Amino acid sequence: MTYEQQLHDEAELWGTEAQRMAGQVLPDWRAHRHLLYNVINHQQDIDALLAQIQPGMQTLELGCASGWLTLAMAQRGANATGYDISPKSLQVARDYYATIAHEVPGTVQYDVQDLNNLSLPHAAYDVVVVKGTLHHLVNMPQVIAEVHQSLKPGGLFWVSDEAGDVNMRSALFSSALMFLLPTQVSYREKFGGLLKFGLNAPSRIKASMEAEDLSPFEGAGREHDWLALVQAQFADVRVFNKPAVTGYLAHQINLSRWLAIPLLRMIGAIDSLMVRIGLLKNTGVVVYARK
């Protein structure tokens, strides 16, 4: 398959997903922040990022999908631009923005862009953000270099993404939790899968945690150590580790919110402790890098 065909298929897949999600929840952080996996894994990080955004800032999001984070920066008064490969995703973003533009103090612009072939203006942005996109990119050194030169002195590069591969201990811990807790898979199917796959069951969970083969470019960026590239380019880099398995579990658990939220927060605290003492290895990180 050619690169152009992969790019087309990637755009179609995520465009269809953006349309599906927009049918369930508005592409607005005020709505997305209440989704279970955001409450558990992303709400605090996104709110901390948005607290950095000041009126009049020039901001850019790479891989903006349906545009809710780009929009959230504009809602803080920024002049915000969002780039994405999917025209369908951007149409979702534009359609929603058109309905609330009159109440947004900043400005929003959404553009189609192949992030593997970036050419950004020099010293143009106060903040560049990337959420869940770097691990899809094949031209990582150019992307990081372009972001660095596009930031003003003191500008912020904020990343929330996966760095590295899921290790087997994390997969085993996730497998145990997935088997014990009620999830979207019935217990009958779980027992059937255990009989069918036996000792290979954790490997299948590992592949699921890494979203293996979800899209043409899923995991392509794992061939590059994007975190090392950021640390080499930027003077001040702070890295915050996420739990190893709790974010994945939040997508799978099948409990009412009043049970799921305290349970996942308890698991997350244990999960984070096991990461800190080295029993588990996380892949999710949040990075603040200053030029």
Instruction: Note the pLDDT tens digit of each residue in 260-283.
Output: 999 999 999 999 999 999 999 999
Residue 151 has pLDDT above 90, yes or no: yes
Closest C-alpha to 122, from 154, 158, 146: 146
Average pLDDT of the residues in 1-9:
91
Predicted local confidence at residue 114, as pLDDT: 96
Q: Would residue 188 count as lying in a domain?
A: no
Q: Would residue 47 count as lying in a domain?
A: yes
Closest C-alpha to 40, from 285, 282, 266, 287: 266
Residues sharing a CB contact under 8 Å with residue 47, sequence separation 6 or more, in sequence order: 33
Residue 251 has pLDDT above 80, yes or no: yes
Q: Are strands 125-131 and 284-290 parallel, antiparallel or unpaired?
A: unpaired
Average pLDDT of the residues in 40-54:
98
Predicted local confidence at residue 216, as pLDDT: 85
Residue 249 has pLDDT above 90, yes or no: yes
108-121 pLDDT, tens digit each: 999 999 999 999 99
Q: Are strands 79-84 and 107-112 parallel, antiparallel or unpaired?
A: parallel
172-218 pLDDT, tens digit each: 899 889 989 999 888 888 788 777 776 676 677 666 766 766 778 88
Residues sharing a CB contact under 8 Å with residue 270, sequence separation 6 or more, in sequence order: none
Which residue range forms the structural domain that includes residue 50? Answer: 3-165+210-234
Predicted local confidence at residue 213, as pLDDT: 64
154-165 pLDDT, tens digit each: 999 999 999 988
Q: Would residue 72 count as lying in a domain?
A: yes
Which of the two residues, 258 and 179, has the higher pLDDT score? Answer: 258
CATH code of the domain covering residue 51: 3.40.50.150
Predicted local confidence at residue 207, as pLDDT: 65
Residues sharing a CB contact under 8 Å with residue 200, sequence separation 6 or more, in sequence order: none
Q: Would residue 130 count as lying in a domain?
A: yes
Predicted local confidence at residue 202, as pLDDT: 66
Q: In the beta sheet, which residues pair with residue 87?
A: none
The first and second tokens of residue 61, run together, are 């999001």
Q: Would residue 137 count as lying in a domain?
A: yes
Report CA-CA distances (Å) from 209 to 83, 174, 239, 282. Answer: 26, 9, 21, 11
Q: Would residue 249 count as lying in a domain?
A: no
* 17 vs 26: CA distance, rounded Å: 13
Number of domains in the chain: 1
